Amino acid sequence: MICVNPEITYACYYTAAFARKGLPNAPTQNAARETPFRNLAATELEMTMSNDNKTMTDMQEMTKSALAMFTALPGAGSQSTHFWQAQDMILEEVEKFSSAWFKRRHEGTRAAIETSRQLAEGAMSDPAAAMEILTNWQSRSIERLTEDAKDCSEMMSRCTEAFVKNEVEAVAETAEIAKKATKSAKSEPV
pLDDT of residue 59: 78
CA distances to 27, 85, 182 from 48, in Å: 21, 46, 47
Range 28-34 average pLDDT: 50
Say if residue 68's pLDDT is above 70: no
CB 58 within 8 A of CB 35: no
Cα within 13 Å of Cα(124), Cβ side: 6
Report the predicted TM-score, pTM, of the whole model to 2 decimal places: 0.53
Residue of 35, 42, 34, 36 whose CA lies nearest to 14: 42
Say if residue 63's pLDDT is above 70: yes
Burial status of residue 150 (CB atoms within 10 A of its CB: 0-12, 13-18, 19 or more): exposed
H helix runs in the chain, sequence order:
6-20, 29-34, 38-72, 76-120, 127-187
CB 178 within 8 A of CB 78: no
pLDDT digits (tens, 9 = 90+) for 136-149: 999 999 999 999 99
pLDDT band at 189 (very low <50, low <70, confident <90, very high): low
Sign of the C-alpha dihedral computed for residues 105, 107, 110 and 112 taken in this order: negative
Measured distance CA(2)–CA(14) in Å, rounded: 13
pLDDT band at 104 (very low <50, low <70, confident <90, very high): very high
Query: Helix 6-20 to helix 38-72 angle, to the nearest 10 degrees?
Result: 100
Measured distance CA(9)–CA(186) in Å, rounded: 57
pLDDT digits (tens, 9 = 90+) for 70-100: 555 556 677 788 888 889 999 999 999 999 9
pLDDT of residue 170: 83
**Domain map of the chain by residue range?**
1-42, 76-184
Measured distance CA(30)–CA(6) in Å, rounded: 13
